[in-house]
Amino acid sequence: MIKSGREKIEDIIFDNDLENSNYHNKYFVRTGAKNQVFRKVNFSHTYFENCYFRNIQFNSCDFNGCKFNNCNFQGSTFIGSNFDYAIFEKTYIGSEILDNNCPSHNNLKLKFARTLRINYQSIGDAESVNKAIKIELEASKEHLHEAWNSKSTYYRTKYRGWNRIVMFFRWLYFKIQDFVWGNGESPLKLCRTGFYLWLIASLIDTIYFKDPNSLIDYWTSFKSIPSYFMGIKKPDVYSDWYLTLITMFRFIGFALFTSIIIKRFNRR
């Protein structure tokens, strides 16, 4: 076993700009700076704990593999900076980092958005949580698709044979959830799904239990389906299994809608 050789730097204030400096594999504790420019500084694999960097311009800095715990970066920008494999915990940092500093690879982008989502949840920043979730879901979709469909060397090496089939079904399941309710993030998609089911149920009711050649019957079925769905009416012509199916859709629909509401309130 070999010690990492990480040097601890604590209770230090940077009072001047930095350029082409090397702070690789350091451990910053209660370290800070204000209104300065850090250009091409190497912070890779450095831990930041209880640090304060206000209104700092981090230009083309390397934060690869860094961990930020209970830090404050209010007003700071990270132009061209690298955050591959970075981890954030209870850290105040602008959500603009999600727009400008996401890793280029989808699997790293997914992990980056996820750690920031958890971080924003811990400090109660609901708006940034929603932003991180959107990026996380998009990166997940692209990553799962490339895992079974990409011809790149990375994905062909990592996912072979049966693993590619497994990733296909994971991608398909993700796409179905995205269509039905936006993976728990879109009440509009859930309402759209409900409307499609409404139309399908109306067609079934007209074709099998009314006159399919009558436009009035289509309209009558369309108006009647909500009362059937809510259990207010139970037509005698419906079989028990069909009524059970409608009841199952009602319970699932209410459960999904309740889940979305609870998620939204939990972020506040």
pTM: 0.82
Looking at residues 199-206, what average pLDDT do you find?
Answer: 93
Looking at residues 41-62, what average pLDDT do you find?
Answer: 96
pLDDT at 267: 61
Read off the pLDDT band of 268 (50, 70, 90). Answer: low
Contact 250, 229 (CB under 8 A): yes
For helices 126-149 and 106-123, the axis angle rounded to 10 degrees is 160
Percent of the chain with pLDDT strictly greater than 70: 98
pLDDT at 124: 87
Looking at residues 248-266, what average pLDDT do you find?
Answer: 86
pLDDT at 152: 84
Looking at residues 96-109, what average pLDDT do you find?
Answer: 91
**Integer CA distances (angstroms), 218 to 84, 210, 234, 244, in order:** 56, 8, 18, 23
Read off the pLDDT band of 186 (50, 70, 90). Answer: confident
Q: What is the mean pLDDT of the chain?
A: 91
Is residue 159 scored above 90 in pLDDT?
Answer: no
Is residue 12 scored above 90 in pLDDT?
Answer: yes
Looking at residues 116-137, what average pLDDT do you find?
Answer: 92
Read off the pLDDT band of 184 (50, 70, 90). Answer: confident
Query: Residue ranges of the alpha helices (H) in 97-213?
Result: 97-100, 106-123, 126-149, 153-158, 162-181, 187-209
Read off the pLDDT band of 1 (50, 70, 90). Answer: low
Query: How many whole angstroms separate alpha carbon 135 and alpha carbon 207?
Result: 43
Residue type present at position 189? K
Is residue 55 scored above 70 in pLDDT?
Answer: yes
